[in-house]
Chain A
């Protein structure tokens, strides 16, 4: 469904990604783990067209998409919950979800999908009319995920959904990811919380200073001594 073929990205003179290769197949949950500054966010921003690669190809559903403007990729079925959540603090929770459905016109289906979002995260229902800026960090993360789902994406990108959240909230977030996964979603999950990410994914890539240094089945990687030492704190 998604293939990154030798993709390099730089910020001015600094190369953030050096020839990375990765792929995500339909129905898979793939995780990309790595330390702070490894290039995980850069990878997702490149897939969503917020950054342009200096070399390589990004292929989605058979078409090269590098250079396609971000808003057009949303219509093609890619949605992202960005790092730092990126909720519209000045809009209500409901309006944020409406923005998630911006590309859609089917009012009834939008309303029922909004109900599904509220079912996934009942906290959002309680806060429906509140400005998103008044939500807690965990609630904002829930909103960012629910909002991404509102476009009915075929590929969902999640950038560090557990970052900075209390353990109980992290649990809620991963439970939701697991539910979306059970419904057959295709997800590329970026995390520093390697333990949880490996537990809730099919395959994994390990990114170190802009290069993919390991890849494989998540369960096997979780047993790998190098991964254990560097990322699982064992």
Chain B
């Protein structure tokens, strides 16, 4: 029972990161029907941006809530700007061409970011500084939860509620929903749809960057290709929840995180070694595509953002 609780805690921690990243995939898909393959790399970029902010401003030496907040928000802002630039200079010029063209552009963009970072920072992992004191808290039995796990969970939930509020209560959020449903109708309302699309990239990128900084508080090793596997899993999470569906992305992220750690904890009993951890998401992807291609919360009439 203790290990189960422990695996669940670990699973939900990593799952909240997947959820944060999955939201960006799902929003961009909802609005442009584009799978933004470079999105996982924005998560990596967010971690590096946070690393640079934290080390250059000396937050590493004196852990504090302010240092953490500045690093988090700064990294989110940088990623938002990069996300908008990618949309403006890579995706917008090819938007009028076929889906295949934009897809290839996205794959190219992903490789470009990855190897640009290898070029600048080398492939050697860096160690992200601990920005807040980290302690383990023992729960009942032997299960423990670390303060950085609590931090990940709480900050991701706050960000997801913030996103929910933006999308459902603000004017720009309603415009995002309008654009995702009918681009030309949205233009006829006087909505600058290019701005709304750029804003969507900014939001998604900021959330991914938050995921990068938060992960680094839990697992401090960062490297330029760290976004590939995490990005793919988050993409699977978005598909599992129903791509284009916001609550679906969150649910998918948490489920993938939980499934992954449960396989690590219990897979041995059914002959699945814990080294299969990374395969779990893809097994789930295959099952979803076979059994419920629209995803758990997706359907043909489902709202797409």
A interface residue numbers (CB < 8 A to B): 48, 50, 69-71, 74-75, 79-80, 82, 86-91, 95, 98-100, 102-103, 133, 147-148, 151
Contacts and interface: CB of A to CB of B under 8 A. Distances in A.
B190 A75 contact: yes
A88 B190 contact: no
A88 B187 contact: no
B303 interface: yes
Closest 6 CB pairs between A and B?
Answer: A74-B190, A86-B185, A103-B190, A70-B187, A90-B303, A99-B189
Interface of B: 171, 174-175, 177-178, 180-182, 184-193, 301, 303-304
Contacts of B186: 88, 99
Given A98-B174, A99-B178, A102-B175, A90 B304 contact: yes
B interface: dominant SS = helix
B181 A99 contact: no
19 contacts: A50-B184, A50-B187, A50-B188, A71-B187, A71-B189, A71-B190, A71-B193, A80-B188, A82-B185, A86-B182, A86-B185, A89-B301, A90-B304, A91-B181, A99-B174, A99-B186, A99-B191, A102-B171, A151-B190
A90 B193 CA distance: 17
Given A99-B186, A102-B175, 6 more contacts: A71-B189, A86-B185, A88-B178, A91-B177, A102-B191, A103-B189
A64 B185 CA distance: 23
Nearest to A132: B181
Contacts of A48: 188
B182 A88 contact: yes
Contacts of B187: 50, 69-71
Contacts, number: 69
Contact of A79 (B171, B177, B188, B193): B188
A147 to B, nearest CB: 8
A90 B180 CA distance: 9
Contacts of A103: 189-190
A111 to B, nearest CB: 15
A153 B182 CA distance: 21
B181 A90 contact: yes
A20 B138 CA distance: 79
A91 B188 contact: no
Nearest to A147: B189
A2 B184 CA distance: 22
A99 B301 contact: no
B74 to A, nearest CB: 32
Given A88-B182, A90-B304, A102 B189 contact: yes
Nearest to A50: B184
Given A99-B175, A102-B171, A133-B301, A82 B191 contact: no
B191 A88 contact: no
Given A71-B190, A99-B189, A151-B189, A91 B184 contact: no
A147 B182 CA distance: 15
Nearest to A104: B190
